[in-house]
A = this chain, B = another copy of it.
Amino acid sequence: MKAELRLWLRLLTTTTTIEAEIRRRLRTQFNTTLPRFDLLAALDRAPDGLTLGEVSARMMVTNGNVTGLATRLESEGLVARRVDPQDRRAVRLTLTTEGQAVFDTQSAAHGSWIKEMFAGLAPEEREALHRLLGRAKSALQTALEAEEAL
């Protein structure tokens, strides 16, 4: 098997394992899901809220997807939907007080999970991995741009 393929499979399984564990803990400890958490996180970083389109761009998912997520989170009372007065086509999403409190708790736990999962890696290894992933990302970017230009 080609070296590139082996690298890709290892990258994939590492990421998948971590992600599965995060999903599992979000479910068992907070009865929530990763997409819900990600949406709250996006709103947490935006004090004035975000339109659905902005959320969709930040989360790299489709508009229709965000519509459904927002509807569920709204019905749970964690986010508020409100038509933008400036542009009546746009819907602005904000964290409710409860949503902010819920996110703060979940976010703290999430941070400590990640820290725990990488605890076995020496700081130099962590840095080297971070750097190489950066290299891989930019190599990838180049490859995809070349592809697109065809």
Interface residues in chain A, defined as those with a beta carbon under 8 Å from any beta carbon in chain B? 2-8, 10-21, 60, 111, 114-121, 123, 125-130, 132-140, 142-144, 147
Alpha-carbon gap, A139 to B12, bound state (A) = 16
Would you call A10 and B117 a contact (CB within 8 A)?
A: no
List residues of chain B with CB within 8 A of the CB of A15: 11-12, 15-16
Best-buried of A121, A136, A137, A144 by chain B (most CB within 10 Å): A136
Specify how many copies of this chain sit in the oligomer: 2
* Contact B137 A8, beta carbon cutoff 8 Å: no
**Which chain B residues border A133 with CB–CB below 8 Å?**
7, 10-11, 14, 129
Cα A8 to Cα B22 with chains together (Å): 12
Interface centre among A4, A5, A10 (most CB of B within 10 A): A4
Determine if A140 and B111 form an interchain contact, defined as CB atoms under 8 angstroms apart: no
Given contacts A5-B114, A121-B139, A125-B132, contact A19 B12 (CB under 8 A): yes
